[in-house]
Amino acid sequence: MTISNITVVGAGVMGRGIAYVSALAGFQTTLVDISKSQLNDARQNMRRIGEKGIERGKVSEAQIENLFIHLHTSTDFKKAVEKADFFIEAVPEKRDLKQTIMNEAEKYAPKHTIFTSNTSTISPTELASYTNRPEQFSVMHFFNPVHVMQLVEIVRGLETSDETVKKVQQVAEKMGKETVEVNEFPGFVTSRISALVGNEAFHMLQEGVASAEDIDKAIKLGLNFPMGPFELGDLVGLDARLNNLRYLHETLGDKFRPAPLLEQYVKAGRLGRKTGKGVYDYTKKGE
Ligand SMILES: NC(=O)c1ccc[n+]([C@@H]2O[C@H](COP(=O)([O-])OP(=O)(O)OC[C@H]3O[C@@H](n4cnc5c(N)ncnc54)[C@H](O)[C@@H]3O)[C@@H](O)[C@H]2O)c1
CB distance 32 to ligand 1 below 6 Å: yes
Please provide the average confidence, as pLDDT, over all residues in the chain.
Answer: 96
Q: Which domains does the chain have, with CATH numbers?
A: 5-183 (3.40.50.720), 189-275 (1.10.1040.10)
Please report, as a single letter, which amino acid is at residue 79. K
| Range list of β-strands (E), 174-238 | 178-182
pLDDT at 93 over 90: no
CA angle 276, 278, 280 (to 5 degrees): 90
CB distance 127 to ligand 1 below 6 Å: no
Asked which of 141-150, 214-223, 265-274, 277-286 is least confident by mean pLDDT, the reply is 277-286
Maximum CA extent, the chain: 57
User: Best mutation site among 7, 13, 192 for ligand 1, i.e. most ligand atoms within 8 A of its Cβ?
Assistant: 13
Segment 63-87, tens digit of pLDDT: 999 999 999 999 999 999 999 999 9
CB distance 9 to ligand 1 below 6 Å: yes
Q: Which pLDDT score is estimated for 286?
A: 55
Q: What is the arithmetic mean of pLDDT over 259-267?
A: 98
For residue 244, which atom of ligand 1 is closest to its CA? Answer: 43
* Residue 88, H or E segment: strand 86-89
pLDDT at 287 over 70: no
Q: Which pLDDT score is estimated for 120?
A: 87
Number of H helices, E strands in the chain: 12, 8
pLDDT at 104 over 70: yes
pLDDT at 285 over 80: no
Segment 142-182, tens digit of pLDDT: 999 999 999 999 999 999 999 999 999 999 999 999 999 99
**3-state percent breakdown (helix, strand, coil) of the chain, nearest 5:** 50, 15, 35
